[in-house]
Structure 1
Amino acid sequence: MLGGFLALLAATFFGLHNALTRRGVLTGSVLQGLSISVPIGVPIFFVGALATGGVGQITGFPANSVLLLTTAGIAHFVWGRFCNYMAIQAMGANLAGPVQQSSLLIALAMAIFFLGEVLTPLRLIGIFLILSGPVVMLRSRKARKEKAPDEEPDKTATKFQPKYAKGYTFAFLSALGYGSSAVLIRAAVIDTGFGGSLAGGVIAYGAAASVVIVVLLYPPFTREVTNMNRATAKWFTLSGIFVCTSQMLRFMALAVAPVTVVTPIQQTTAIFRVIFGWLINREYEDFSVWVLTGIAVSLLGALTLTLSTEFVIANLPLPDALISIARWQWP
């Protein structure tokens, strides 16, 4: 219960982070965003570990756990976040989000092979729905193309034109980083408590920040970051604070709840992404019917993955044949 609540809070803050990032990349670069949002995580996680009594555990993790946390930090906070920012810059958070739901499939696959989880018909339905979401959204692109050329332009309509190929590519690549990190973090911080999980976050963010700092030593990249204007820096700073808060909650959730509970609940960030996007970025996002439908379909798939087979059997009057099918497992 507690793990699920923490995961829901993490999803809320991550949705806000995506909306703030969208504003930042409108006037700034992806590298400028990373230069703020990644290093800022180290002191925030350190304060969190200090407040929960976990600072002493930073140096107490065994070597294999440090390796897992370092890998997770680089995969999520460098690779995943870089690709996420590129996707948001190319086509907005609304369009990128459902593609990134595939991170759940990656986390599930890793949980099956490394943590002993199983695949069931209910999960197959969830997978199908998640993959269907981006397909439904493509109808929005078709609708744009079919719009009559002599149609009177809507002066209130957004001038936003998504770059679908670039956006979809980077959204999927970000899902690889996001999906794999959940299993790595869970394996490293399991049974360490809240303090231990945040201590693990210091290690993960520290590894990611080290990579970003090394990259920024390259003179052209240094100039790019130092030329950032004040407004862009404001959006990226706010984004960094909220995404770090989200990650702290995620680490704590993974310390007390399995990946198969935390990761699906975090997919509800799709709802908060739309809400905050409407409030902050109404002119820079696609809110067409097909996009919102695609988001809903992907979200339904994610929620389907959270249901246990026994819960469904106990609460729905299914015939014996369907019950037998529902109890199939692999491997």
Structure 2
Amino acid sequence: MPHSTLQTPTFRRTVAVTLAAATALALGACNRGGADTTGGGGEATVGIALITKDSSNPFFVAMQKGGRADAAKNNVKLTVASGKKEGDDQGQIDAIEQSIARGDKGILITPMSTGVNAAIKKARDAGLFVIALDTPPDPPSTVDITFATNNRNAGKLDGQWAAAQLDGKPAVIALLDLFDDKIVSVDYNRDQGFLEGMGIDVADGKKNGDEAKTGKYTGGKGGDYTIVCNEAGEGAEDGGRSAMEKCLAKNPNINLVYTINEPTAVGANAALKAAGKTALIVSVDGGCAGVSSVKSGVIGATAQQYPLKMATLGMEAIAKIARGGEKPQVSPGLDFFDTGVALVTDKKADGVESITSDEGSKICWGN
């Protein structure tokens, strides 16, 4: 993960947690499996599969790049695979089957949906240590452990910031989610977290779209809200544009747009611009392109996550377990290992901790 000289309390805590985690992973000692070959340093070479949702989203490209760069440091034989696109469960299932057949010691995976759970179970039953990255599976016990952003908190930061920016004005909201035909934890946690940050009651916290469509939000100074739409953009720029067009057709007065990620946000902005409209846009990812969109004003605020850290810590963990080290532990009070989040915005909001786009650009990922 890139380094920074930021000195905010949140950043210091994030660094402290990361260093503590790395130390814990390095010092453990129990056993699970071996490996077949030995590297130059005397450590057994460990086979690991890194399976992402796709190989085009900048987030997963950065994760794959970081994994490849760190593989040699850990004497890891890394195989990178992915689905063809978001939603390609079968592509991930095939990659899991291939990892089992190769005799890998572990798998790092950003699970597509509950559709890959059975394949993950098969891998664990075969003795592989499976770590989810970025997307906690449902249920979390599907994998050995998850290294991820606290996506609920990421969404809440966006919602708290948006409520403060509205300053009591009515909120006419478009929610641009990931899917409408699959249940993915990252999808509902960001969406529902955003609503909670706005101070809007959610019905089932694991389900998008079942909250009251009108009512009062209590974040910031509070005010009236209308939820115009929940549309799926599948995490892509073109999907974000078409989803936003559908929402604007329902209500052209949308003034607040939540997006699952930054490519979706860019697409939504294009649709707004084409319609001659403006709105506050919030998102999650914190890639370098997304941070640039914050600086240019396309995105008002984005919750930054750290995919290189996820891949690095995950690879270190599997390599150490295969060589007799301890299993990693979840963060206190959570059912996953929290790799940190920071809100990036150039419009500070009272009571919402954030960093500027200049600060975010020093620790962003991707090009």
TM-score range, shorter chain: under 0.3
User: Which has the larger share of helix?
Assistant: 1
Output the TM-score relative to the length of structure 2: 0.25
Output the TM-score relative to the length of structure 1: 0.27
